[in-house]
Every structure is written in structure tokens, then in C-alpha cells.
Amino acid sequence: HQFPHLLFKDVRGNVQTRLAKLEDPTHGYAALVLAVSGLERLALGHHVTEVLASTDRRWFGYAVGQGALTVQCREGDAGTLRYLQHLHHQETAQRCIAERALMRELEGGCHAPIAVETRTFTEPGQPEPQLCLTAALYSLDGRQCVQRRLCQPAVEAEALGRAVAKAIREADGAAAILDCLRADRTASVEEYRRGVERALEGGPNGTAAD
């Protein structure tokens, strides 16, 4: 959306493989977008040449729930829950609740180009922390974008996510984008179904990857 003059392509493989493809001129890549945290964990931080941080001119969101970790256990398992309580981080939970509520309202999923950014802050004189959610819905080619931002008390995280989704849905151009995303999702599901059918027809040697 912000760099329409550039050609973007997926780069597969582990981090070292991707970096090797970047450095090999036969692949034709000029730059590679990776998570700074991942590179630093692998002692590859020296490869970072620029960090894509949001500014007044450009906003860089991320995928819903990206970077958040969760531990799941059986419902009602008080013993296990007791051991897990010290891992709980309320601010992260509220941010994820808002982001996931927005995605559900927009019927988003793995392939929907939805970007978010949440942050919490405390206003002077306000006892309750506030939560701000910025979200953007993009067309599949990235050229159209609808972006909205709202702030509410952090305890109302679920309602905040729904409110931002509603504001996006009601914006000019959003309906056409959502219609295209639904059509693309339907086509992807149908393609997967046909692949499974071909694999089953092929017998033991067939694979769903076909």
C-alpha cells in the first residue's frame, strides 16, 4: 500500500536460507523483511539495516495477536491453573482480546490482509488504563485501505475491537474489499476441497498437497 512501485514476493525456508537467497544475486531480491526479535535470538541481528517503525507519515501494523504467547490447559484444572497464573500478563491479554474481537467481526482469517496495533496508556486523573486499537483493512493487492483508530478503557477490550471493526465496515470502500475477501476465501476452500478429492482418488500414493 505504501510502496506501490515495489514488487513483493514470498521467500520460503528457514532464516539462514532466506538470508542466503537475499545475498545471492541470481534470486533478484533487493531486501528482506523479517522480525528483528527472531534475528536477534539467532545472533543474526547484524543483518538488520532498517527497522520499519511507525511514524507520522507511515504506519506499520502487524497481524492479529502477533508476538503473543499463550499456554492452554484443561478447563477446571485448578492445580495446573494455579501454576500458570504467574505467567498471565493482563495488558497482553486485553490487547489480544481487542484484536481478536476485531478480526471476528470482520470475518478475517489467515489470508485476510488485516493489520492492527494496540497500546495501553494511563491518562492523568484517570484510574483505569486506556487501550487504543488502530486497525486497517486492505484489498488483496494492497492498493485500497480503510483504517480506523479508537480508544476505550482497557477493561472494555472486547467492545473496543467490535467498535473499530464496525467503524471500518461502515467506511467508504470497505464493503467492496470485504466482498473480494469473501470470494477469495470461498475459492481457496473450494481449491483445497478439490485437492483432497484428487488425493483420495489417487489411492495410497495420493497426497493432499496435489
Number of structural domains in the chain: 2
Residue 208 binned pLDDT confidence (cut-offs 50, 70, 90)? very low
Residue 203 binned pLDDT confidence (cut-offs 50, 70, 90)? low
- The pLDDT of 89-107, averaged and rounded, is 94
Identify the pLDDT of residue 195. Answer: 83
Q: Are residues 143 and 41 in the same domain?
A: no
Q: Are residues 2 and 75 in the same domain?
A: no
Whether 105 contacts 162, CB under 8 Å: yes
Q: Are residues 63 and 24 in the same domain?
A: no
Residue 64 binned pLDDT confidence (cut-offs 50, 70, 90)? very high
Non-local (6+) Cβ contacts of 152 within 8 A are 130, 131, 159, 160, 163
Q: Are residues 81 and 118 in the same domain?
A: yes
Residue 189 falls inside a structural domain: yes
Residue 207 falls inside a structural domain: no
Residue 87 falls inside a structural domain: yes
Identify the pLDDT of residue 200. Answer: 83
The C-alpha cell of 7 is what? 514488487
Identify the pLDDT of residue 126. Answer: 75
What's the CATH number where 151 sits? 3.30.160.40
Q: Using the predicted structure, report yes or no on whether residue 94 has a pLDDT greater than 50.
A: yes
Q: Are residues 25 and 46 in the same domain?
A: yes
Residue 210 falls inside a structural domain: no
Q: Are residues 43 and 71 in the same domain?
A: no
Q: Using the predicted structure, report yes or no on whether residue 173 has a pLDDT greater than 60.
A: yes
The phi-psi region of residue 89 (left if phi > 0; otherwise alpha if psi is between -120 and 50; otherwise beta) is beta
Of all residues in the chain, what percent carry a pLDDT higher than 90?
57
Q: Are residues 71 and 25 in the same domain?
A: no
Residue 125 falls inside a structural domain: yes
Identify the pLDDT of residue 204. Answer: 54
Q: What's the CA gap between 135 and 115, in Å, rounded? A: 6
Task: Quote the crossing angle between the two packed helices 157-169 and 90-105, to the nearest 10°.
Answer: 30
Boundaries of domain holding 165: 58-201
- The pLDDT of 156-177, averaged and rounded, is 95
Residue 208 falls inside a structural domain: no
> 114: which strand partners?
137
- The pLDDT of 147-168, averaged and rounded, is 96
Q: Using the predicted structure, report yes or no on whether residue 16 has a pLDDT greater than 50.
A: yes
162/57: higher pLDDT: 162
Q: Using the predicted structure, report yes or no on whether residue 189 has a pLDDT greater than 80.
A: no
Task: Quote the crossing angle between the two packed helices 174-201 and 157-169, to the nearest 10°.
Answer: 100
